[in-house]
Amino acid sequence: MQLRPALPARPFGPEHLMRPVGAVADSVLGMRGCLFTFHRAAPSEVWEGLPNRDFHLDLGYLDRLLGYLTHTGWAIVTLDEAMRRTARGEPGDRFVNFSVDDCYRDTFEHVAPLFRRHRAPVTLFVTTGIPDGTLALWQAGLEDVLASRENILTGSGRLAVKTDAEKRKAFAALSAAWDGPKAAAHYEAFCERNDVDADALHAKHAISWDMLEVLRDDPLVEIGGHTVNHRRISSLSDAEARDEIAGCRVRLQKKLGIPVRHFAFPYGRAGDCGTRDFALVREAGFSTAATTRKGLVRRDVDHFRLPRNTLVGGHRHLALAEMHLTGITGIAARMLGRV
């Protein structure tokens, strides 16, 4: 007999106000699935002080969410299983999938062990440039420097970053200024200016192929592709897009010796990936492609336009998860044109 994880210590709260909506959704929608995604995670005591904390889930919240889903009757499944359930379309079936995009060291050290404790599967969408060392982890590096110092040197001079608020403000300003094709060059100049060892920071935050080999052998871990260097696919030529999409699948299969069936776009909103890009994913041999367009998975879902609901660090309320589970956030996003 399969045992359920113990109820989280923190009592359930406003999310129970959403449960009647969920009951209506059960009767009206029939079978439905909800695909969640996030990037990084940190222990609660660390999360509070992170300069880019919205990029990290609070592990305490993730722990509560996994327990809540189990105790409210949701099945936590791999994408393989999600697609099988979608094809069957059994009335009343409710399932969720969790995927981690990019994959950093904390995926190995914190996220996978937490899912293991809950006996729940997790899908990892790996950007192969991270373990290969070809992708500059400039956001992780910038955040690390800000977290560990009280002053930094920018192109405009010395900047005080003594308080958590100052660190968050500095991260937001610098990341906005750097974002784009020249981000790696901006980061390299920043590291030189501040006497930072960029290679050491990469090793500190990157997942390695050795770690991925361990995760490959975990029966609760499913591994998919997330491009080679995390580029916006819609902005690329056909040849460049093929290199990013097919290249990551070839690299993962060569290094890990496993079939790689699932793909997630690094930027997954409507303007970031379109008809050509979905076709290229199919051409590369993948069975699915996941976006970041909010919504639910239904029986008639296009396997190459899968909706996913992004979890960010500041959303630490189970009630918001219930809104994703009922499809309310997807409806709201479409009404507001945020697709």
Calculate the alpha carbon distances from 162 to 111, 152, 201 in Å: 29, 10, 21
DSSP string, 101-133: EE-BHHIIIIIHHHHHHTT--EEEEE-THHHHT
The residues spanned by each domain of the chain are 23-135+206-336, 138-201
Assess contact for 151 and 160: CB atoms under 8 A: yes
The 10s digit of each residue's pLDDT in 196-220 is 999 999 999 999 999 999 999 999 9
- The fold of the 23-135+206-336 domain, in CATH, is TIM Barrel (3.20.20)
- Token pair recorded at residue 260: 């790689």
d(CA 244, CA 236): 9
Q: What is the mean pLDDT of the chain?
A: 92
End-to-end CA, the chain: 42
3-state secondary structure of 204: helix
**pLDDT higher than threshold 70 for residue 85:** yes
Q: What is the pTM of this model?
A: 0.91
Name the residue with higher pLDDT: 339 or 195. Answer: 195
φ/ψ region of 296 (left if φ > 0, alpha if ψ in -120 to 50, else beta) reads beta
d(CA 75, CA 94): 6
- What DSSP character marks residue 206? B
pLDDT on residue 9? 47
Residue 248: CB partners within 8 Å, gap ≥ 6? Answer: 126, 127, 128, 225, 226, 227, 228, 263
The 10s digit of each residue's pLDDT in 302-328 is 999 999 999 999 888 999 999 999 999
Calculate the alpha carbon distances from 293 to 36, 77, 124 in Å: 11, 20, 18
Residue located via tokens 């005591």: 45
Assess contact for 130 and 207: CB atoms under 8 A: yes
